[in-house]
């Protein structure tokens, strides 16, 4: 379905542009949200280097419940307002954390994670969940990653039913 050959020769931006194309292709050819989120988490995991977790937490009542992901097992539930994901959900604002150990109330699902970016997924003013990506490196996520991950979430929202 997706050709991941030669990606190691691409610049980060070239990889991220291709990632958006893969996500668009996935979303335009499949209506099931679970299938889409599963493949999108895998696409992210392959296309973004120096990460150790990519996936989704979905809003269920007053908490976020683990959705499709790639990486080590993760926390099953996160209360809205707790940790990086819960804060992103509560504030409906991107959280880009250079050092998770300095984030008040950080929830350590994987002690190897050092930095994190979380993008809220909002459609029609309703919080659907969050996209969460972790890295074992400090200060891993820059403006470039944020720019393309916002595009990715925008594409996801565009195709969500």
Q: Give residue limits of the domains in the chain.
A: 7-159
* Burial of residue 100, with CB atoms counted within 10 A of its CB: 0-12 exposed, 13-18 middle, 19 or more buried: buried
Measure the CA–CA gap between 90 and 23, rounded to whole angstroms: 26
8, two tokens: 């190691």
Q: Which of 71, 66, 82 is nearest to 136 (CA)?
A: 71
Q: Is the pLDDT of residue 67 over 60?
A: yes
Say which CATH topology domain 7-159 has: Beta-Lactamase (3.30.450)
Give residue 2's pLDDT band: very low, low, confident or very high (50, 70, 90).
low
Q: CA nearest 51: which of 99, 117, 2, 102? A: 117
pLDDT at 5: 72
Mode of pairing for the β-strands spanning 63-71 and 53-60: antiparallel
Reported as a single tens digit per residue, the pLDDT across 105-118 is 877 777 789 999 99
């Amino acid at each position: 379905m997706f050709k991941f050959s030669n990606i190691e020769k691409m610049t980060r931006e070239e990889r991220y542009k291709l990632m958006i194309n893969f996500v668009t292709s996935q979303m335009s050819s499949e209506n099931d949200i679970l299938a889409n989120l599963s493949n999108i988490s895998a696409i992210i995991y392959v296309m973004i280097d120096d990460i150790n977790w990519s996936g989704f937490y979905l809003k269920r009542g007053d908490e976020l419940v683990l959705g499709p992901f790639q990486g080590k097992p993760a926390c099953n539930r996160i209360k809205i307002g707790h940790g990086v994901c819960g804060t992103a959900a509560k504030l409906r604002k991107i959280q880009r954390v250079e050092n998770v150990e300095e984030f008040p109330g950080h929830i350590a699902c994987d002690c190897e994670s050092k930095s994190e970016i979380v993008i809220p997924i909002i459609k029609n003013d309703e919080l659907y969940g969050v996209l969460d990506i972790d890295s074992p490196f400090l200060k891993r996520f820059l403006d470039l990653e944020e720019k393309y991950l916002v595009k990715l979430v925008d594409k996801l929202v565009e195709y969500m039913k």
